[in-house]
Structure 1
């Protein structure tokens, strides 16, 4: 093999290796950034599971409110003896995360009204230049909490699997269990649509609702 050809091959191999390392590095940084972005939402989600277990009297075996891994958090508990207990534990994060996210967005909306006139318009956007640095930081933190917690509102497919197994096992003995099947279906669909950013859309919808409630935006 000619020396020039060998040098070209070696150079291409080194270039591909550097490119692969760069892609892996960028991918890892993006994964780490996403983990940090949703951290508050994961903590609230698992906290809701934990509190629901305590509420219905189901012993909790192990809790990880957040960790760098898959899943990002979990609550392991004993098997509930009744379907309604499984249902409460599974759907608790949806209620808790929604309320916390909405409260954070309401805080953002109220802060916005202290700087600009309501409803918000293109002309009033210039008023943001008068905002203090403290205002900017507090608004950013509340906005981050609203998005992060809202994104983690929906139960996981693991929660849906638990309800589905219980539904199949108990519906003959207690037909009222069938009322929970549509909830299971919705959970599966939402988790499937998360690839299309359905969780982000839900969080932003909560923000829009908060802004509308305070009068920052007019629909």
Structure 2
């Protein structure tokens, strides 16, 4: 079954918004000027943040992977209060299912985009890049592209479900 990317973006728009907010958050943390932010739009890309090139290459990497950290943590935390009623007690209400959807939606947009990978690639290829940054940046860029390919077989959805369903369930069972 083929579902157009635009339909997925609309159905999971909270994840797109949080993804772009995470880029913007990391820009703000590093005091990198932001020129334009589109949190969500129907089309490709579904959102973006245009910012000045950071003075340090490690900042470029962290701005690019910021959504992975933020979306993963937020997706799990949002779904956590709903996990017990939905998956263990079987007494969930509509709000619980909304929280699970939000958690999955946010977590499935955790993967950095190919545009993020391009930014990292362009910075680490420069002559003045320290070897440790290259050692981190090259494999990271490859992983981002692999994740992008994986989205064709629903890797992003699988990740979203793992973060928003499996992790809260593990926490509940661990605490029980």
Same fold (TM over 0.5): yes
Matched ranges for 1:160-179 at <5 A:
160-170=117-127, 173-178=129-134, 179=136
Cα deviation per residue 1:26-71 (whole Å; 9 max; x = unaligned)?
x8xx666423211000000000000100111110000011111211
Q: 1:92: Cα distance to partner?
A: 0.4
- Give the gaps of 5 or more residues in structure 1: 1-26, 117-127
| TM-score (structure 2 length as normaliser) | 0.89
- Give the gaps of 5 or more residues in structure 2: none
Larger Rg: 1
CA–CA distance in structure 2, aligned partners of residues 32 and 69 of structure 1: 6
Q: How many residues align?
A: 171
Q: 1:190 aligns with which of 129, 133, 147?
A: 147
CA–CA distance in structure 2, aligned partners of residues 31 and 209 of structure 1: 26
CA contact (8 A) 1:105 1:210 kept: yes
CA contact (8 A) 2:57 2:129 kept: no
Q: 2:107 aligns with which of 150, 154, 162?
A: 150
| TM-score (structure 1 length as normaliser) | 0.72
Aligned residues: CA RMSD: 2.1
Q: Secondary structure at the match of 2:36?
A: strand
CA–CA distance in structure 2, aligned partners of residues 48 and 147 of structure 1: 16
CA–CA distance in structure 1, aligned partners of residues 53 and 80 of structure 2: 37
